[in-house]
Amino acid sequence: MAREVFEVHDATTWSMRMSGENRTMTVGVFAVLLTFIAGCGQPNPQSTPTTPVETKSAEPAIPEDIQSAAKALLGSESQVLLFGDLAKTGKQQFLAANVVPKTPKNSVPGTVVTRAVIAENENGKWTELFRCDEHLKNLKGFLALTPLSPTTGWRLQYEQNTDKGLQLYFTPLKVNGDSHVPTIGVRWNPATKHYQSLDRTYEHFLKESTTLQDVRSTLR
């Protein structure tokens, strides 16, 4: 009888121990689950998506012969702005200028230049076709609408048309103290094979003049 009591007592003790261990295991598993759930709700710093960095396509390198020609025409401070088949003639040309750096005194919007040229490659030799300095000129003379008074600075704008080629817009910064002066359009004329100025509609070419005093708005 004592043995049976002992065995029952032993079994009860074992059962109680097992129950305690089960509770301990249950609490432990529940704690692990809570930790896992809490971890799922937190952002993972390693998996946080980063903002992609925009990369600009590299501009084509300016060939050495173009840089050398620009320096020969405008000096060491020349800057090549465009090059390629600018006039849509199948020949290589470049646009270079002496660009005025942006400073607190130079608050004019856009590109401000003191001089600019367009040159063309003819049989491996670069030849000047157009020049902007105190006036606008091509190989035949002064372009129509160019100011009679010397201009020390110009605001330069340009665009490349797929059919007509390069079109430039020159605005004198000041003429005899007047800051309100018209913009002069310039484009390649395939009929005369020269860069010429355009009328106010930017549609019709104007004839150049051999002398500055004879500059006038004559349709070409």
pLDDT in tens, 112-165: 999 999 999 999 999 999 999 999 999 999 999 999 889 999 999 999 999 999
DSSP line for 134-202:
SSEEETTEEPTT--SS--S-EEEEEEEETTTEEEEEEEES-BTTB-----EEEEEETTTTEEEEB-TTS
Q: How many other C-beta atoms are found inside a 10 Å radius of the C-beta of residue 169? A: 18
Q: Which residues contact 92 (CB under 8 A, 6 or more apart)?
A: 83, 84, 85, 120, 121
87: tokens are 């006039």
pLDDT tens, 41-86?
A: 555 555 455 555 555 556 779 999 999 999 999 999 999 999 999 9
Q: Which residue has the higher pLDDT, 110 or 99?
A: 99
Q: How many CB atoms lie within 10 A of CB 156?
A: 19
**Mean of pLDDT values over 177-184:** 72
Position 11 pLDDT exceeds 50: no
How far apart (Å, rounded) are the C-alpha atoms in residues 184 and 2? 123
For the segment 12-27, what is each residue's pLDDT rounded down to a tens digit?
Answer: 444 444 445 554 444 4
Average confidence (pLDDT) over 93-105:
90
Cα atoms found within 13 Å of the Cα of residue 210, Cβ hemisphere only = 0
